[in-house]
Amino acid sequence: MTMEQSSAKFKQKKSLSKYLLPSKIPNKVGVAVIRSQSARENRAEHGDESHCKRAMTISKRPLSLNVSNMSPKKESSNFLSVSSPLDRCASVSENNVAEASLSPDENVLMEKSISHESVMKEAQVLYLIPTMQARQRNFLQGKIGANSLLGPKELDRVFPNREVTIFVGTWNMNGHMPPKELNDFVLPIGIEHVPDILVFGTQESCSERFEWEVCLQETLGPSHILYHSISLGTLHLAVFVRRDLIWYISIPEDASLSVRPGTAFRTKGAVACSFLLFGTSFLFVTAHLTAHQEKVKERVSDVKKIVNSLDLPKVLPCKNKSKDVTQNFDYVFWSGDLNFRLATPRSKVLEWLSKTSFPLPEHLPHGYLHHDQLCSVLADGAAFKGFTEAKITFPPTYKYDPGTQNFDSSSKQRTPAYTDRILYKQRAGRRFSGQAETPPLQCLVYDSVSSITTSDHKPVWGVFKAHVRPGLDTIPLQAGLFHRDVYLEGLKRRATLNDSKTGTAVCSIQ
């Protein structure tokens, strides 16, 4: 090839490089975007000219996030399905990565590096920040700037609809180890996407708390992390959050109260955990109240003691802090073995159960629930002021012969009852002129888990949808901290399918 031919060929390549994009488009923060196979197929169909135009358009704009199609949609299921949290912050999809032209060795490395993305589906990438925008100062919102970590722009990027989904589960474990299979409780078929926050409250818990937390982590997988846990005697509360939310959540604050302080075993009382997500405050309480059919007044007294004794929040901001802890947060979830019973003879309840199929239709009267002690307490305002409970459509959750689906056949012959409940409350906030009203807290589903038989109680769970508002960067943040030991052990067991633990061992109460 002559020198002139080489020079002409070099000029031709140089001229084409103005229009053709390389296989990877590096942005200015070091993230490479790979073109998908579909894009290459479209180029072949429409010809080089259209490709050049499209390439010029892409090359002139920075990476951006498309949130135009991220609204909730109504499915054929029983409740409103929420847009997957995995759709909120993605610019590079797993398919794009997998379709790149890599050598066999590179493909193996790539598969290993994105194995966890089979759960997360898409990876989060940094977006470009205009310098002029960074120069701006906003003294009204956040007192930091336009790009504050907890400000409205970041909130809209993480939660385009400003809605967070919350799972609340409660279970009296009767001192037993959990079964090897927890999917029916932790990841029930009734929900399409894993909620953003999952809270598990247990009573008469197994003394092996680390083992219980690892079981939950193993079931959830790498998409969620254990943010905080607290225990008191046989009470335990564990809060898991979607792992990318750990940067937008405050430090946790917890409190506990034993309503039987003089006893050796603290089996009755409550534990609570509170935090801020962006600018919205949450309180989760799990409680075990006084037992026995006739002790309604004692249970009401337990609730009042707990409400007035839990000192929260401590460091986190709160305007006009009330002695009633449930008045200090935007959203409150109270779950547990509340021990309220049905004021109906056992024979009549069993007769009703034998003639009834579950789940109950929501538009029909719910059997003997009009004799339910908790319903009466809520109606007359004796306790749980401002709290609501979703309609119960499942059978009584207490008391069963462990290992069976049969109600108590012991000499005590306890009447079946709805002792395990989840209540929720939303604070009525002040609305300024022209400001949109905060959407109500919604319970999307409320159900029990009949398949788990290790305890004399059935687990109960609910999924909720709450509104999130922007916050100030001045609050103390968790800054990425979580229970890494639980995370690593859970993933290790998930990977090796460790079946060494049995689901029938009985733990001693400590």
Report the 3 state secondary structure along 353-417. Answer: HHCCCCCCCCCCCCCCHHHEHHHHHHHHCCCCCCCECCCCCCCCCECECCCCCCECCCCCCCCCE
Work out the angle at residue 494's Cα, subtended by the Cα atoms of residues 490 and 496, and round it to the nearest 5 degrees.
120
As a whole number, mean pLDDT of residues 476-484 equals 95
Task: Categorize the per-residue pLDDT at 6 as very low, low, confident or very high, splitting at 50, 70 and 90.
Answer: low
Q: How is residue 187 written in tokens?
A: 């990841």
Tokens, residue 45: 């169909």
This prediction has a pTM of: 0.73
- Measured N-to-C along each axis, helices 484-496 and 209-220 cross at an angle, to the nearest 10 degrees, of 60
Q: For residues 45 and 50, give the distance between their C-alpha atoms in angstroms, rounded to a whole number.
A: 10
d(CA 425, CA 333): 7
Mean pLDDT of 460-478: 95
Q: Average pLDDT in the 164-178 region? A: 97
What is the arithmetic mean of pLDDT over 5-20?
Answer: 51
Other beta carbons within 10 Å of 312:
20
Q: What is the C-alpha to C-alpha distance for residues 123 and 114, in angstroms, rounded to an integer? A: 9
Has residue 168 got a pLDDT over 60?
Answer: yes
Beta carbons of 446 and 459 less than 8 angstroms apart: no
Tokens representing residue 99 in the block: 């379709």
* CA 98/CA 111 separation, integer angstroms: 8
DSSP classification of residue 149: T
Residue 12's pLDDT is what?
A: 54
Residues 196-211: what's their mean pLDDT?
96
Per-residue pLDDT averaged across 13-42, rounded? 44
Residue 202 is predicted with a pLDDT of 98
Q: What are 96-148's pLDDT values in tens digits?
A: 434 444 455 545 444 444 455 554 555 456 668 788 876 776 555 445 455 78
Q: Which comes out higher in pLDDT, residue 500 or 453?
A: 453
210 has a pLDDT exceeding 70:
yes
Portion of the chain with pLDDT greater than 90, in percent? 59
Residue 496 has pLDDT above 70, yes or no: yes
Helix ranges, 99-139 (H): 104-113, 117-120, 131-135
pLDDT score recorded for residue 190: 84
| For range 365-393, the mean pLDDT | 90
pLDDT at residue 232 is higher than 80: yes
Angstrom distance (rounded) from CA 453 to CA 474: 47
In this predicted structure, which of 63-67, 401-405, 501-505 has the lowest mean pLDDT? 63-67
pLDDT digits (tens, 9 = 90+) for 347-358: 999 999 999 999
Can the peptide bond before residue 399 be classed as cis, meaning omega within 30 degrees of 0? Answer: yes
Q: For residue 457, give the nearest of 254, 75, 107, 169 by alpha carbon.
A: 169
Angle between the 373-380 and 296-309 helix axes, to the nearest 10 degrees?
Answer: 60
